[in-house]
Amino acid sequence: MRRITLWTLQLACSTVLVLFASGCTLKGTTNEIIDTTSNITGSTSGRTWFTEDGILHPEHKLTAFTALNRANVEQDLARGQGEYLSSLGTLLGLSDDQQAAFHAKAQGAFETLMTSDHEAWLQHLRMLAASN
């Protein structure tokens, strides 16, 4: 019994010593944990991408679609046709009448569209769609 009490006392003293020796306070540590957690959840929870109902904001649909389907879109770009390319045209605001011309232009620009920079890729696709 005495051995357990001595061990508990040593553990408590060591904990207090570490807290005071490190210059760390319990309040400071708690604030750091809460602030960091708030920053992470605020930036990764998708509040800027989604409405409160969980629906993707229209201005982010093109980015989300191309990020999730880039390989399929690139295959359709190379062929000049396909459902992913048609969906891309729709997200770019093209009517059904403008789709064929966009497909042809996109296929013709396939080599210049091959970049690892996603934003540059999207910008080039927007320019192709606007030239219709």
Tell me the average pLDDT across 92-118.
93
Tell me the per-residue pLDDT of 15-44, one tens digit each, with 9 for 90 and over. 665 656 655 555 555 555 555 444 444 445
Give me the percent of the chain exceeding a pLDDT of 70. Answer: 65
Q: Is 103 exposed, middle or buried (0-12, 13-18, 19+ CB in 10 A)?
A: buried
In contact, 92 and 85? CB cutoff 8 Å: no
Among 67, 61, 32, smallest CA distance to 49 is for 61
- Residue pair 29/19 in contact (Cβ under 8 Å)? The answer is no
- Rg, the chain, Cα only: 28
For residue 83, which phi and psi values (nearest 5 degrees)? -65, -35
pTM more than 0.85: no
CA distances for 66 relative to 26, 51, 61, angstroms: 46, 20, 9
Reply yes or no on whether the pLDDT at 52 is more than 70: yes
Cβ atoms of residues 107 and 73 within 8 Å:
no
Where along the chain do its domains lie? Answer: 2-44, 58-130
CA angle, 88 then 117 then 67, to 5°: 40
Q: What are phi and psi of 48, to 5 degrees?
A: -80, -20
